[in-house]
Amino acid sequence: MRFLGYLIRRIVGIAAVMIGVSVITFAISHVIPTDPAAAALGDHATDEQIAAFRAEYRLDRPLVEQYVTYATGILHGDLGRSIRTRRAVVDDLVDSFPATLELSFTALLVAMLVGVPAGVWSALYRGRPPDLIVRLLALAGGSIPVFWLGLIVIGLGYYQLGWFPGGGRIDTFVQPPPPRTGLYVVDSVIAGDLDALRSSLLHLVLPALTLGYFSTAVIARMTRSSMLEVLGQDYMRTARAKGLRERVIVVRHALRNALIPTVTIIGLTFGSLLSGAVLTETIFSWPGLGRYATASAVSLDFPAVLGVTLLAAVVYPLANLVVDVAYYWLDPRIQHG
Amino acid sequence: MSYRRLPILFIVALFIAAACTQPPPPTGATGASATPQATGGAASTLVYYADVSDLISLDPAVAYEFSGILLVHNAYETLVKFEGADLANIKPSLATSWDTKDAGATWDITFKLKSGVKFASGNALTADDVVYSLQRVIKLNKSPAFLFTDIAALKAESIKATDASTVVVSMPKTASAQGFLSILTFTVGGIVDSKEVKTHETGADSGSGWLLDHSAGSGPYSIDHWTKNSEVLLKANANYGGTKPALSGVLVKHVPESTNQQFALEKGDADVARNLSPQQVAALQGKTGITTTQGNSLLLVYIGMNSTAKPLDNVNVREALRTAIDYDGIIKDLLKGNAKKVQGIVPVGLSGANESAPFQADVAKAKALLAQAGQTAITLELLVPTGPAPGGVAWADLASKLQADWAKIGVTVNIKQTAQADLLTTYRAQKGQLVMILWGPDFPDPDANVGPFTDYAAKSIAYRNAWDDKTIAAKGRDAALITDVTKRTAAYKEITEYVLHNGPYAVLYQPTELFGLRSNVKGFAWNPMGWLDFASITK
């Protein structure tokens, strides 16, 4: 019951964050000096067209009134109409979010499956070549810009070697699975379509590696340092003294305790995955939220930018909530209260 | 607690299962299609890689963006058309003939329709469809509607069917009949299947919700699907009355990064790459399996000079600035030859274009002009947009080149770079000094440039540069109304020649478009209006 109360308080907190985020982004997007009407209508528009546009998007109303209208809309599930695509922002988000979710989850999965073992391995071989290799790769992962990495990865994996497709979510001549969740991998499994599954998995490889590299590096470094800390503890010596197998010592006794800071980092990197998706999606022609955000920002499509920001404002605290719940699972001594 | 690992095991199992089902296909082979879509697979589908982030609607009454125009053009037919790249002579299409009569207060244009034309649905095309389509544009009042309502001064009741194969359009004599015919060649004049569209009307939307991503035309292709942010597939229209398209499908893939387009072209995954830079095109020269080609555009990149900002109010100062610019250097070095040297206000390709290009980096003459104007040291601000200019050079690089050219005649220019939207806001408010920007005509007629560039009252380019020359504005308005083509062209020649030396503009160049193609792609002919006929392409 105490846990349930905690959950409710967190969800109320998320709502408060959303109100704050909506006020701030709304204010920022409306005080920038650029006129969205000029951006949307371009060179040929007449003064009358600009005035009509400003009236349609209520840009001629006082800022507070604009916000109240907008906030009321949110409560009714209406995020306004995109200036660029002329569609309801909610529809645009529903179209593009699953692609980003699929890519981000795959990237996170890659980061966990590679980052945690690499960190453990590095800690076990502290100061020796495997450790140096992991630390070097982790350093690179933290410092290479995503767009540059993306071009290198495409150049190698697609252009030079031809092992993986060069962009998009599925082969040009493979029919996408009927949409259920919007995640191509899941939908292909539901439809039992192996061609679509294989194609969508292959299409995930390069962008997920690109997007996941930074998180992999961060996770590996964090796992390494917390493993080193745990490995020096007294109970490790006890475990060894009582003759447990090394595998059991490392996985059961060391890793589980070392994972708590790593889980925190995983939650935080999920946020960086969303922002990394902006560049990765453009490079890999990935029809997701990141590319939608880029195109919207470039054309000063403020209803769309606000919509993306609000969605991020929900996803990010939710990821953190999942992390907090995971703590509980990893270490029952942690009490949420 | 092994159940905790179940989700991970499941996902890993998925990867393994998928990897094991079949060996990966060779990504380089276009023939390696698995389950071909509606069009019969890769061999008979043109794969066209382009940045189509501007796509808003595929409805002819709504589309007014480059990508939309390209697709709509291939799905709909118009009453009259231009053939190939010739934008001077109007030819029959759905109308076999047309006749312009002086009806006292109005021009009445009578169109006789071709018989036996069918829409993709199988419905026969009649005068009712034409009236419905043209009235629909006015009723919906979306981006391209001003071409009908402002330029041609039409109202819904101006368009009537007198019998099943005759349509009469009455327009006020203040508007240009020739200009209206040019407008009708454009996608906004696309004729929709009224029976089909009416079944999809929702409220007062005239079916625009459905036509957003469907088509109901009589063109060589129809829209199979548009997956937002990903692709549009056109498939051949079995009921098309003209020469059947060689390829049964055209797949337009949204690929924003030009590097990806280049890679995919080289690997054979793309048949056409739309957005290559001059450097990429240079790198592709001589590669096996690839050709590159150019297409004309109707854009002009120009500098507007505010004619009330001192000392730009002096005609000799403006002439000096024009004279000092190294146009050849811009085109050869910065644009790698990817542009035409055009200095008049009507682009080459339209009737009335003035090919005279008298200016080229004459420092002595420019200095003499400044001296004549009593000016020695001038400092001006040059407003420049961010990003790339048409032709593939950064606006900022163009600006630096101009700064250097003008420094040679003692003119100091401070470059101020802003987002295009900000630049336009300043420009519209007549608050710029020197403004570098581009212009493309709204319809393929010299009036679409001469009006905005000469008529202060039109509140367009002349207004933005505070250039109020009533004589030339009146001449421009008169020229538009001339029906005799030879006389009209002569009138435009006189106007453009005057603007060349007296106007507040320095036209820098007319960019060309660059394309990368697989060598087996034949029949690719870019139209300066911003489209190509997919039906004439083979591969």
Per-residue pLDDT tens digits for B96-141: 999 999 888 899 999 999 999 999 999 999 999 999 999 999 999 8
The confidence score (pLDDT) of residue B228 equals: 82
Q: How many Å lie between the alpha carbon of B252 and the closest alpha carbon of chain A? A: 10
| Residue pointed to by tokens 């920001």 | A309
How does pLDDT run across B34-55, given as a tens digit for each residue? 334 555 677 899 999 999 888 8
**In this structure, are residues B258 and A151 in contact, taking their beta carbons and an 8 Å threshold?**
no
3-state secondary structure of A5: helix
Distance CA A11, CA B320 (A): 68
Average pLDDT over residues A179-187: 89
Give the CA count within 13 Å in the CB-facing half-sphere of A12: 6
Paired residues of B305 in beta bridges: B434
Chain B from 364 to 423: CB within 8 A of any A CB: 419-422
Q: How many Å lie between the alpha carbon of B443 and the closest alpha carbon of chain A? A: 12
pLDDT class of B501 with cuts at 50, 70, 90? very high
Cβ distance of B437 and A47 shorter than 8 Å: no
Six token digits for residue B274: 């739309």
Q: Which of B295, B242, B232, B215 is nearest to B46 (CA)?
A: B232
The answer to whether residue B56 neighbours chain A at the CB level (below 8 Å) is: yes
pLDDT at B28 over 50: no
| pLDDT winner (highest mean) among A2-11, A173-182, B43-52 | B43-52
Q: Which position has the higher pLDDT, A59 or A195?
A: A195
Q: How many Å lie between the alpha carbon of A68 and the closest alpha carbon of chain B? A: 27
pLDDT at B538 over 70: yes
pLDDT at B29 over 50: no
Cβ distance of A166 and B263 shorter than 8 Å: yes
| Nearest-Cα residue of chain A relative to residue B232 | A172
B484: left (phi over 0), alpha (psi -120 to 50) or beta: beta
The confidence score (pLDDT) of residue B35 equals: 38
| Nearest-Cα residue of chain A relative to residue B251 | A172
Q: What percent of chain B has pLDDT over 70?
A: 93
Distance CA B489, CA B474 (A): 16
pLDDT at B20 over 70: no
Q: How many Å lie between the alpha carbon of B267 and the closest alpha carbon of chain A? A: 7
The confidence score (pLDDT) of residue B6 equals: 45
CA dihedral (B8, B12, B14, B17) positive or negative? negative
CB-CB neighbors (< 8 A) of A197 in chain B:
14, 17-18, 21
pLDDT class of B419 with cuts at 50, 70, 90? confident
**Average pLDDT over chain B, rounded to an integer:** 88
CB-CB neighbors (< 8 A) of A47 in chain B:
459
Cβ distance of B27 and A295 shorter than 8 Å: no
The answer to whether residue B442 neighbours chain A at the CB level (below 8 Å) is: yes
With b for 16 or more beta-carbon neighbours within 10 A and e for fewer, the A288-298 pattern comes to: bbbbbbbbbee
Six token digits for residue A299: 């054309």
How does pLDDT run across B386-405, given as a tens digit for each residue? 888 888 888 999 999 999 99
**In this structure, are residues B514 and B285 in contact, taking their beta carbons and an 8 Å threshold?**
no
| Nearest-Cα residue of chain A relative to residue B265 | A159
Query: Number of CB pairs < 8 Å for A and B?
Result: 146
How does pLDDT run across B181-199, given as a tens digit for each residue? 999 999 999 999 999 999 9
The confidence score (pLDDT) of residue B76 equals: 97
Cβ distance of B35 and A172 shorter than 8 Å: no
The confidence score (pLDDT) of residue A334 equals: 67
pLDDT at B4 over 70: no
pLDDT class of B32 with cuts at 50, 70, 90? very low
Of A49, A185, A285, which has the smallest distance from its Cβ to B257's Cβ?
A285
CB-CB neighbors (< 8 A) of A172 in chain B:
33, 42, 47, 231, 251, 253, 269
Cβ distance of B256 and A47 shorter than 8 Å: no
Q: Which of B362, B368, B396 is nearest to B382 (CA)?
A: B396
Q: How many Å lie between the alpha carbon of B227 and the closest alpha carbon of chain A? A: 9
Of A155, A166, A287, which has the smallest distance from its Cβ to B264's Cβ?
A166
For B525, other C-beta atoms within 10 Å of its C-beta total: 12
Distance CA B287, CA A41 (A): 41
**In this structure, are residues B155 and B172 in contact, taking their beta carbons and an 8 Å threshold?**
no
How does pLDDT run across B255-311, given as a tens digit for each residue? 988 889 999 999 999 999 998 988 899 899 889 999 999 998 999 999 999 999 889
The confidence score (pLDDT) of residue A337 equals: 47
pLDDT at B535 over 90: yes
ipTM greater than cut 0.85: no
Cβ distance of B228 and A33 shorter than 8 Å: no
The confidence score (pLDDT) of residue B31 equals: 34
The answer to whether residue B428 neighbours chain A at the CB level (below 8 Å) is: yes
CB-CB neighbors (< 8 A) of B248 in chain A:
none
CB-CB neighbors (< 8 A) of A85 in chain B:
56, 228
Q: How many Å lie between the alpha carbon of B319 and the closest alpha carbon of chain A? A: 25
**Sequence-distant (≥ 6) Cβ neighbours of residue B228 within 8 angstroms:** A85, A92, A95, A96, A287
| Residue pointed to by tokens 């600035």 | B321
Cβ distance of A198 and B422 shorter than 8 Å: no
Q: How many Å lie between the alpha carbon of B535 and the closest alpha carbon of chain A? A: 21
Length of chain A counted residue by residue:
337
pLDDT at A336 over 60: no
Average pLDDT over residues B188-216: 93
The answer to whether residue B449 neighbours chain A at the CB level (below 8 Å) is: no
The confidence score (pLDDT) of residue B21 equals: 42
Interface test with chain B among A173, A183, A206, A330, by most B beta carbons within 10 Å: A173
